Amino acid sequence: MNGQQQRQTELITIIALKAQNQPLQGSGLWFHNDIRDNFYYASYLFAAAVNAETQVILDNPSDAKKTAEAVLAKVLKLLQGNPEQPLYGHFPLHLNPSPEQARPHELPVELMGSLMAYFYTRCENELSEELKEAFKTALKHIYLGGFYRKPLQLFNHHEAKYTAAKIIFGQRFEDRELLEDGIASLKRTMERVTTLGMPEYGALPWFWHWVQAFTCAWELATEPAVKKQLADLLDYLWQERSLFYLKGAWAGAHSRGWPHDAPADRNVLHDYVQFGDFPLGEAMPRTEYAGFLCYPAPEDARRRALNRVKPVEVKKQIIKIDTGEEIPLHSYAYVTKDYAAGGIWERVKEFDNEQIRWMVSFPVTADNSVNQLYFFHPGEGYRDGDHRHQSDYAEVLYDKNRILTIFPVPEHAEQQEIIGVLPKGTWLQEEAGLFGQVQNCFIAILLKGSYSMKEHDEYHQVRLLGQPAAVAVEVWGREQAEELGMNSLSALVERFRTASLTLEPEAKLTYMGVSSPTILELTCNLIQ
């Protein structure tokens, strides 16, 4: 058993114990907020119960198996199996006030349907006859329902799952036309992302939906040529991941994310299985199938991710096509063994306005604490405590370990304050700004404007007000800092004793005595 397989067994064990200790509701399910969590937890509990290596951790493996089968059976019964009804072949998503009243929803079957095909194939011999027949019936309804029969347009995570499902169900039901459609869609997807980039840059958990869907198809594929095409795409996906990887963190800009993606990287299970170079914390907001599915990343991707000896700059162009027109975006990340910094040059309004323009990332820690640092002006969708929704009012400059931002917030804007999120650490407040030590790094944050800082349970929040406000963030690993004579936080403060951040006429930024062109002009020059 290799390291990846050992970590998968570890996940199966941990999640199976969570399932065993989770009380069932009156419906016979564990969760009503999302039907998929019932399927995932039951899968892990079943897998642990039927494996001699893992069943020893359960109180009663036989009872655990029966519980898992009972939950799986109840999930399958919630499938819309009437071809005459809307959303035939679909499951409900949210089950309150009762599962029986819940209506089918288009999302759950996208990922869960393919994973059900995988689970049935892997565990068929251990299933009871009744549950085996229930799975066969459900998979037939899912196939006939055809949720995947949609054209490729946006090359997003939804369409990635449709493509994988075409291959999985086309093969399973010997539907050659569907399988060929899936193969053609796979080829187009590969051409699109390798030439124009992934439009959902840094988007979690949707990137993992790509990985899960295509790994599932790869595991089930029987034709060598199809398996090779799937392997090529998975190689690309893990190469992409390795570029922005730092011990469980995802560096740089994020086009979308859930609250557990910012300001803390907590969607880490696939990274943990693949790389295993950071401690696994208690928080597991997306258990999904990381414990079952793992395509080994190419060796050069693993070396890049795990052996960050020298800092590297990652520059990419991405073409967005959401609006029907091609919009070029440019991302930048500076990745070292202790931290990463970077973002995206252009502001673009993403779905639900969840773009995070830039951040400084630190390795994931065992307590799943906040490991991201960034400042932003709140925009549409913002509410206190949700740090994903930013406005248009920011101009940025990225230069290795330094990020500069001007916030030209107009007077008519409802929200005037800039919000900053800082990880827990040691922070000193000075007139010029904030100086801190986080993990193995020193950070200087020069601020233009008046500011205050408040400590929360998981992070420090900064409120900055200026006309306009500006922020300069500079970060060093301990070795870098010591080379510059900064071997302590007090030495860092002393180095910046006379530093200031000022804004000159025509929005020119002066930093450490150097006057730049306007940030927008400099941005255009750098990305050409």
Is 376 part of a structural domain of the chain? yes
Based on the structure, what is the number of domains in the chain? 2
* Cα distance between residue 454 and residue 115, in whole Å: 44
Decide: 118 and 289 in contact? Cβ < 8 Å: yes
Question: Of the candidates 110, 142, 157, which is a domain's last residue?
Answer: 110
pLDDT in tens, 64-80: 999 999 999 999 999 99
CA distances to 18, 40, 234, 313 from 283, rounded to whole Å, are 12, 16, 26, 31
* pLDDT of res. 504: 67
pTM beyond 0.85: the answer is yes
Is 186 part of a structural domain of the chain? no
* Cα distance between residue 243 and residue 250, in whole Å: 9
Question: Of the candidates 61, 84, 110, which is a domain's last residue?
Answer: 110
Rg from Cα positions in the chain: 25
Residue 506 φ/ψ region, left for φ over 0, alpha for ψ in the -120 to 50 degree band, beta for the rest: left
State yes or no: cis peptide before 363, omega within 30 of 0. Answer: no
The helix (H) or strand (E) run that includes residue 475 is strand 459-477
* pLDDT of res. 10: 97
Give me the residues of the chain with pLDDT under 50, please: 511-528
Is 460 part of a structural domain of the chain? yes
Q: Reduced to 3 DSSP states, what percent helix, strand and coil does the chain have, rounded to the nearest 5?
A: 40, 25, 35
Is 135 part of a structural domain of the chain? no
Is 402 part of a structural domain of the chain? yes
Question: Of the candidates 55, 88, 110, which is a domain's last residue?
Answer: 110
* pLDDT of res. 378: 97
* Cα distance between residue 342 and residue 401, in whole Å: 8
| Closest-CA residue to 104 (of 85, 120, 122) | 85
Is 380 part of a structural domain of the chain? yes
Q: What residue type is assigned to position 449 of the chain?
A: G
Decide: 476 and 487 in contact? Cβ < 8 Å: no
pLDDT in tens, 37-95: 999 999 999 999 999 999 999 999 999 999 999 999 999 999 999 999 999 999 999 99
Is 130 part of a structural domain of the chain? no
Is 324 part of a structural domain of the chain? yes
Exposed/middle/buried for residue 246 (C-beta within 10 Å: 0-12, 13-18, 19+)? buried
Decide: 307 and 60 in contact? Cβ < 8 Å: no
Domain residues for the domain of 105 are 11-110
